[in-house]
Amino acid sequence: MTDNTPLNGVSIHDKETPFLLLNRDKLERNVARLREHTDSFGVPLRPHLKTVKSVEAARLILTEGNGPATVSTLKEAEVFAAAGCKNLIYAVGIAPQKLARVVALLKDGTDISVILDSLEQARAVADYSRQASIAIPALIEIDSDGHRSGVAPGDNLLIEIGRILHHDGAELRGIITHAGESYHCKSLEEHQAMAEKERAAAVACADALRHAGLPSPVVSVGSTPTAHFSKDLTGVTEVRAGVFTLFDLVMTGAGVCQTSDIALSVVATVIGHQREKGWIMIDAGWMAMSRDRGTAAQAVDQRYGIVCDMAGNPLGDLLMVDANQEHGIVALRPGSQQTLPYLPYGSRVRILPNHACATVSQHGEFAVIRDGSEHIEALWPIIHGW
């Protein structure tokens, strides 16, 4: 799927900036950490590949390199399926027009489930299943936390949707939920409570389906925070998470990881100084970082990111405080008593991003390094589009 030939001699000090750097060892440790946690409950992980959007990264993340996995676009589904990942959930409420591509994947041997939360969608999926002579696997999304989509727990709509899917041509697979509100939890106790709320709602809805005589072999839960802080997974058949692979400053602020766990950074070059203002200008702007300012809503606002030296160590209170399209402004955190470090013209820094998913999507490839190495061992293409 890609050229991952070692790039002998290309170092992180030579590749033209801005570029996206991935520490493969950190990624592998992050994956091992969550796998250890979910393995302790005997529940498999179904990683969400919307964060890395890379076949090569997926091979390190997935069990035996090929699944199961979650995707956010049919483009991802098609690329990962072609690379051998044949067990997928497309975790965005299905639009009627997208069913043709879902069926094409199914007929090509990929077990891909769609998700839905309405009678209209259930009818569309059942009708299309009959028309295509293939039972499209479908999960009913439930709303465990008021965050986004899903049937409210306790609403009889769940059973009505289940009946249409099960009796009218589709394949009712079970229940799915995503406690996206977990990103806003502020303590270990809040995280644990959110994980239990997510689990309990999903299991109760699966039980409601079963009590109505409907199948629910799958009970799929997950978000990066709830996946890490769950203390009980009784009744759950799989856990989903995405950003745990790379981590970012939002996850640091939410208490899920340390800054040193973040596997992703953007490498930039110093292009100027506005000394009277205490500004250092760099050649990475929002095009390289994304416009995501997720930490603005947290206790510690990291602006456009924490500025590190080329070994990946934060340079005191230095932040990328503002961004234009291709310019970044680096300065001390507001209120800092530190002295602005001297970063000469042409020197390089690494910026830790607010939100890994958003920053990855701004780039065409990852430049991959190992712990302690300055040599880029591979370039991994990033999937774009829908």
Question: Rule CB under 8 A: which residues touch a second copy?
Answer: 16-19, 50, 72-73, 92-98, 116-118, 120-121, 124, 143, 146, 148-149, 152, 180, 269, 271-274, 276-277, 281, 283, 286-288, 290-293, 324-327, 329, 344-346, 355, 357-358, 361-364, 384-386
Residue (113 or 237) nearer to a second copy, CB: 113
The length of the chain, given as a count of residues: 386
To a second copy, the closest distance from the beta carbon of 202 in angstroms equals 18
Per the CB < 8 A criterion, the answer to whether 46 and 69 are in contact is yes
To a second copy, the closest distance from the beta carbon of 328 in angstroms equals 10
CA triple 371-263-229, angle to 5 deg: 120
Q: Which two tokens stand for residue 71?
A: 């995707």
Q: Which residues pair with 322 in a beta bridge?
A: 329
To a second copy, the closest distance from the beta carbon of 329 in angstroms equals 7
Residue (306 or 358) nearer to a second copy, CB: 358
To a second copy, the closest distance from the beta carbon of 230 in angstroms equals 21
Per the CB < 8 A criterion, the answer to whether 369 and 375 are in contact is yes
Measured distance CA(88)–CA(11) in Å, rounded:
36
To a second copy, the closest distance from the beta carbon of 358 in angstroms equals 6
In 72-192 the beta strands, taken as DSSP E runs, fall at 87-90, 111-116, 137-141, 171-176
Residue (233 or 356) nearer to a second copy, CB: 356
To a second copy, the closest distance from the beta carbon of 386 in angstroms equals 6
Phi/psi at 224 (5° precision): -55, -45
Residue (65 or 345) nearer to a second copy, CB: 345
Q: Which two tokens stand for residue 292?
A: 């995501």
Phi/psi at 330 (5° precision): -105, 135
- What residues contact 32, with CB distance under 8 A and at least 6 apart? none
Residue (147 or 210) nearer to a second copy, CB: 147
The crossing angle, in degrees rounded to 10, of helices 157-167 and 188-211 is 50
Measured distance CA(258)–CA(76) in Å, rounded:
29
Residue (31 or 288) nearer to a second copy, CB: 288
Residue (14 or 232) nearer to a second copy, CB: 14
To a second copy, the closest distance from the beta carbon of 368 in angstroms equals 17
